Amino acid sequence: MPDKKQSILLGSAVAAILSTSYLGIINCLCCAGIIAGAMVSVWHYTTNNELTVSAGTGASMGAIVGIIGILVSAVLNLLLIEMGVRSDQAVTNFIINQFGDNMPPEALDQMIEQANADVTIGSYLKNAWLGFVIGPIFGAIGGVIGASMFKRGTDDEIIVAE
């Protein structure tokens, strides 16, 4: 069976980029960035090797893409936060500006406090753990979708006798 590393790394790069900073908002749509990265991984693998992968193979590739993509995006986001780029502040400020007049004062005060809070590595990791749980799940879903969409050549589970 052909090596999957290059395809997984490509899909992980796509998932990581789509999960970093302001682009991470894409993942509010059922983790669309992770699903897209997993689908890119399966597409690349099936296209380069002219074969069809099973749903299980797609799911395993997608789960790995989800793990690596979330890990890389977590590091990138932490670096961006250290440089002063805080997408969480931008989203919170947008919500306050758009809906603040209709919010209860307690909720508005809490959102303002959250937007101005300092991010420590501990608080960041406490909030990032969810990505490490959800990433592989949605990656597997994207891999299964990719396996059903990108069918090429022979089935990867068939062993050809020489």
Let me know if residue 49 belongs to a domain: yes
Domain hosting residue 143, numbered range: 5-84+129-155
Let me know if residue 52 belongs to a domain: yes
Let me know if residue 136 belongs to a domain: yes
Let me know if residue 33 belongs to a domain: yes
> Cα–Cα distance between 82 and 65 in angstroms, integer?
26
The per-residue pLDDT for range 60-103, each reduced to its tens digit, is 999 999 999 999 999 998 888 888 887 777 778 788 888 888 88
The per-residue pLDDT for range 144-159, each reduced to its tens digit, is 999 999 987 766 554 3
Q: How many CB atoms lie within 10 A of CB 128?
A: 16
Residue 19 DSSP label: T
CA-to-CA separations, 85 to 12, 76, 132, in angstroms, rounded: 22, 11, 22
The whole model's pTM is what?
0.81
Count of structural domains within the chain:
1
CA-to-CA separations, 78 to 57, 125, 135, in angstroms, rounded: 32, 9, 17
> Cα–Cα distance between 142 and 54 in angstroms, integer?
13
